[in-house]
C-alpha cells in the first residue's frame, strides 16, 4: 500500500471520534464547574440579601420629641414628667387602662441619658425643654410597617349623634367580608378537618375495642370539639349574611380619625359605622376624616389600638422623627431592644481574640518550625503529627467542655484512704475573656500549626542548601531565609484561624459567657460576652424587635470577619511582592 494511502493517527476516524468525546467531556466539566461557582455565589447573595433586608430597619429608630416643663434632673423624676406629658395630651381621665398603655410608650431607661446631660447643665423650672426619647420597640416596628399592614383612606361621612357615622362604606365592608371568608376557610381547613379525622379514627378504634373507657372519653371530647368548631363556622357564616358586621378584638381593626380625636369602629354596614372613642380630645384636630384599616387583629398584636392612635397623633403633629440608631453601636446589651447595642460584645470579642492571638500564634508557629525544620523523623514525631491533625478535627464544643472543666471548675481527684481530694486547675472566673481566649487558643493552635508547616514545606530545599553553603547556621537559615519566604502562608493560616475563633459560639457558652452583661468590660478578667454569643442570645428572645437587631449583629460580625480576611490577603500580597 502506498504511503500516501495510509492514514496517520490524527486522520483516523476512530481517533477523531475519541477526541470529540474528550473535548465534549472537557466542555461539560467546565460547565459543571462554572455552574457550581454560580450556584455558590447565588446562595451567598441570597443569604446576604435576606440578612440585609431583615437588618435594614435596625439601623434606624423613631424618637418621640416633646416640648415640656421639667420638675427635676434625676431619672425617676424625668420619667414621671415624660409619662405625665404624654398622658396629659389626651383626655383619659376615666380610662385607667388607656393611661397605662400610653405610659408604656416610653421605657424607664429613656430618662437616663437625659438625666446625665441635665445634671451637667442644670434645669430652669420656668422654661420649656425639648426632650427627645426613643419610642418603645412595638411602636417603632409599627412605624416601620413590620407590626401590621395598614390601609389608609380618606373618609367622607357625616357624624350622627356621638357614636355613629353615615356615609358609603361598601368598599370597607367588602374588605372585612373577604377577610372573614379567609378566616372561615382557614378554620375549616386547619381545625375542623383534622378534628373530623381524629373523630373518625377514634370511632374505628372504639369499634375494635368497645370496652376501652379511655378511647370512649377521647371520642366524646373529639365529638364536642367538632360540634364547637361547626358552631363557630356557622356563626361566622351567619355574620357574613347580616346587614351589619360586628367587629371584635379577633377581627381587623378600623380606626377613625375624627375632628375630636380617634375612635374605633365596633360595627360596619354599607351606609353606617358605629364606633367608640379611644382618644378623645387629642391635640392637632384633623381637618378631614381618615380611616385606618389594620389587618392584624388587636388580640394578635403587641401594640394596642390606643397606642397606635397616639402614635398617629404624634406623627401628624411632627413629634416623631426617624433617626440613626446610634445605640446599636454605642451601648451594651439591654433588656429593651431600643437601647441594646453590640459594643459590649465587640469589646469582649476583641479581648478574646487578643488573648487567643497572644497564645496561639507564637506557640503554633514555633511548634510548626520545630516539627518541620528541627525535629527528627521518628515514631514520636509521627505520633505528634497525627494527634495535631486529630485535634484540628475535634468539634469546638469539646474544647468548651475542656475549658470549663480545667480552667473554671477544676478537676477533683479523690485521694485513696484519705478524706481529701486533689484539685487540678480551676480558679478562673466564668465568663472571663481570659478563659475564652485560652479555650479558643487551644482550638486554633492545631490549625495554625498545620498551615504553618505547609507554608514551611513549600519553601524549596535549594534555599536552605544555599544558605548553609555560605556558612549560615540552621537557625540563621530559618530566620533569614525560610521564614521570610513562608511568611505569607503562615500569616494567612494564622489570621484565618483567628477569624474562625472570632465566630465560635459553643465553647464560649460552656465557659459561662452566655450571662446577661449590660456593662462594658475593661479587662480580660471582667465578666463579658462575645459577639457570636450576643447574636445567639438575641435570637432566642421572644419580641419581634429583636429579629432585625439579630440580623444587624450578624452583619457586624460578618464585616469583622471580612476585615480579618482582607488583612490576610493584604499581608500575603505584600510579602509575596517582596
| pLDDT exceeds cutoff 50 at 285 | no
How confident is the model over 125-131, as a mean pLDDT?
78
Residue 149 has what pLDDT?
86
The DSSP annotation for 337-379 comes to GGG--SHHHHHHHHHHHHHHHHHHHHHHHHHHHIIIIIS-SSH
437: burial class by Cβ within 10 Å (0-12, 13-18, 19+)? Answer: buried
Q: What digits encode the pLDDT tens for the residues 59-99?
A: 999 999 988 888 777 888 888 888 888 888 888 877 888 88
Q: What whole-number distance in Å separates Cα of residue 525 and Cα of residue 521? A: 8
* pTM for this entry: 0.81
311 pLDDT band (50/70/90 cuts)?
very high
Non-local CB neighbours of 205 within 8 Å, separated by 6+ positions = 212, 215
Residue 7 has what pLDDT?
54
Residue 230 has what pLDDT?
92
The answer to whether residues 273 and 205 touch, using CB atoms and an 8 Å cutoff, is no
Which set of grid coordinates corresponds to residue 574?
505584600
519 pLDDT band (50/70/90 cuts)?
confident
Q: What digits encode the pLDDT tens for the residues 151-189?
A: 888 877 888 877 888 888 888 888 888 888 888 899 999
What average pLDDT is seen over the chain? 86
Q: What whole-number distance in Å separates Cα of residue 64 and Cα of residue 321? A: 7
Residue 406 has what pLDDT?
87
Residue 9 has what pLDDT?
61
The answer to whether residues 492 and 565 touch, using CB atoms and an 8 Å cutoff, is no
Which set of grid coordinates corresponds to residue 292?
385606618
Q: What percent of the chain has pLDDT over 90?
A: 27
Which set of grid coordinates corresponds to residue 509?
457558652
CA distances from 41 to 78, 455, 481, 560 (A): 52, 29, 39, 20
Q: What digits encode the pLDDT tens for the residues 357-394?
A: 999 999 999 999 999 988 888 899 889 999 999 988 88
| pLDDT exceeds cutoff 80 at 518 | no
Q: What whole-number distance in Å separates Cα of residue 438 and Cα of residue 355? A: 7
Residue 452 has what pLDDT?
92
The answer to whether residues 392 and 450 touch, using CB atoms and an 8 Å cutoff, is yes
Q: What digits encode the pLDDT tens for the residues 534-566?
A: 999 998 888 888 999 999 999 999 998 888 888
**DSSP state at residue 506:** H
411-414 and 272-280 strand pairing: unpaired
Residue 550 has what pLDDT?
92
10 pLDDT band (50/70/90 cuts)?
low
Amino acid at each position: 500500500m502506498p504511503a500516501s494511502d495510509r492514514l496517520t493517527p490524527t486522520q483516523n476516524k476512530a481517533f477523531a471520534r475519541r477526541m470529540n468525546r474528550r473535548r465534549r467531556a472537557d466542555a461539560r466539566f467546565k460547565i459543571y464547574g462554572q455552574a457550581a461557582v454560580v450556584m455558590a455565589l447565588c446562595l451567598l447573595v441570597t443569604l446576604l440579601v435576606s440578612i440585609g433586608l431583615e437588618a435594614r430597619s435596625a439601623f434606624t429608630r423613631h424618637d418621640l420629641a416633646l416640648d415640656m416643663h421639667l420638675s427635676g434632673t434625676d431619672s425617676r423624676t424625668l420619667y414621671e414628667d415624660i409619662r405625665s406629658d404624654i398622658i396629659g395630651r389626651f383626655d383619659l381621665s376615666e380610662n385607667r387602662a388607656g393611661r397605662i398603655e400610653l405610659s408604656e410608650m416610653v421605657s424607664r431607661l429613656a430618662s437616663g441619658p437625659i438625666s446625665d446631660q441635665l445634671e451637667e447643665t442644670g434645669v430652669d423650672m420656668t422654661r420649656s425643654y425639648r426632650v427627645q426619647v426613643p419610642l418603645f420597640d412595638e411602636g417603632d416596628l409599627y412605624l416601620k410597617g413590620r407590626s401590621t399592614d395598614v390601609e389608609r383612606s380618606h373618609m367622607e361621612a357625616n357624624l350622627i349623634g356621638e357614636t355613629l357615622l353615615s356615609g358609603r362604606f361598601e368598599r370597607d365592608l367588602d374588605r372585612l367580608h373577604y377577610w372573614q371568608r379567609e378566616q372561615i376557610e382557614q378554620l375549616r381547613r386547619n381545625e375542623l378537618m383534622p378534628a373530623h379525622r381524629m373523630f373518625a379514627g377514634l370511632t374505628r378504634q372504639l369499634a375494635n375495642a368497645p370496652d376501652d373507657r379511655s378511647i370512649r372519653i377521647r371520642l366524646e371530647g373529639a365529638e364536642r370539639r367538632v360540634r364547637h368548631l361547626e358552631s363557630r363556622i356557622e356563626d361566622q357564616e351567619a355574620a357574613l349574611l347580616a346587614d351589619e358586621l360586628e367587629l371584635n378584638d379577633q377581627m381587623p381593626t378600623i380606626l377613625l380619625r375624627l375632628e375630636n380625636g380617634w375612635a374605633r369602629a365596633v360595627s360596619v354596614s354599607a351606609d353606617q359605622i358605629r364606633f367608640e372613642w379611644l382618644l378623645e380630645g387629642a391635640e392637632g384636630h384633623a381637618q378631614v376624616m381618615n380611616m385606618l384599616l389594620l389587618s392584624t387583629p388587636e388580640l394578635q398584636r403587641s401594640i394596642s389600638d390606643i397606642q397606635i392612635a397616639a402614635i398617629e397623633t404624634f406623627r401628624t403633629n411632627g413629634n416623631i422623627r426617624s433617626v440613626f440608631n446610634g445605640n446599636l453601636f454605642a451601648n451594651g446589651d439591654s433588656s429593651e431592644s431600643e437601647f441594646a447595642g453590640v459594643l459590649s460584645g465587640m469589646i469582649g470579642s476583641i479581648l478574646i481574640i487578643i488573648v487567643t492571638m497572644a497564645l496561639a500564634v507564637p506557640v503554633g508557629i514555633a511548634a510548626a518550625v520545630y516539627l518541620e525544620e528541627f525535629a527528627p523523623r521518628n515514631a514520636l514525631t509521627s505520633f505528634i503529627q497525627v494527634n495535631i491533625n486529630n485535634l484540628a478535627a475535634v468539634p469546638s464544643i469539646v474544647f468548651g467542655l475542656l475549658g470549663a472543666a480545667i480552667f473554671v471548675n477544676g478537676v477533683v481527684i479523690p485521694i485513696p484512704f484519705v478524706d481529701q481530694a486533689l484539685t487540678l486547675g480551676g480558679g478562673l472566673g466564668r465568663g472571663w475573656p481570659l478563659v475564652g481566649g485560652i479555650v479558643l487558643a487551644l482550638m486554633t493552635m492545631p490549625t495554625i500549626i498545620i498551615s504553618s508547616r505547609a507554608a514551611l514545606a513549600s519553601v524549596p530545599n535549594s534555599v536552605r542548601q544555599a544558605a548553609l553553603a555560605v556558612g549560615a547556621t540552621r537557625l540563621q537559615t530559618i530566620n533569614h531565609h525560610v521564614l521570610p519566604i513562608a511568611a505569607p502562608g503562615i500569616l494567612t493560616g494564622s489570621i484565618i484561624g483567628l477569624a474562625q475563633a472570632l465566630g465560635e459560639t459553643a465553647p464560649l457558652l460552656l465557659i459561662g459567657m452566655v450571662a446577661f452583661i449590660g456593662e462594658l468590660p475593661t479587662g480580660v478578667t471582667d465578666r463579658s460576652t462575645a459577639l457570636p454569643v450576643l447574636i445567639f442570645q438575641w435570637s432566642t428572645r421572644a419580641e419581634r424587635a429583636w429579629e432585625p437587631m439579630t440580623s444587624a449583629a450578624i452583619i457586624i460580625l460578618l464585616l469583622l470577619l471580612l476585615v480579618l480576611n482582607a488583612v490576610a490577603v493584604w499581608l500575603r500580597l505584600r510579602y509575596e511582592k517582596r
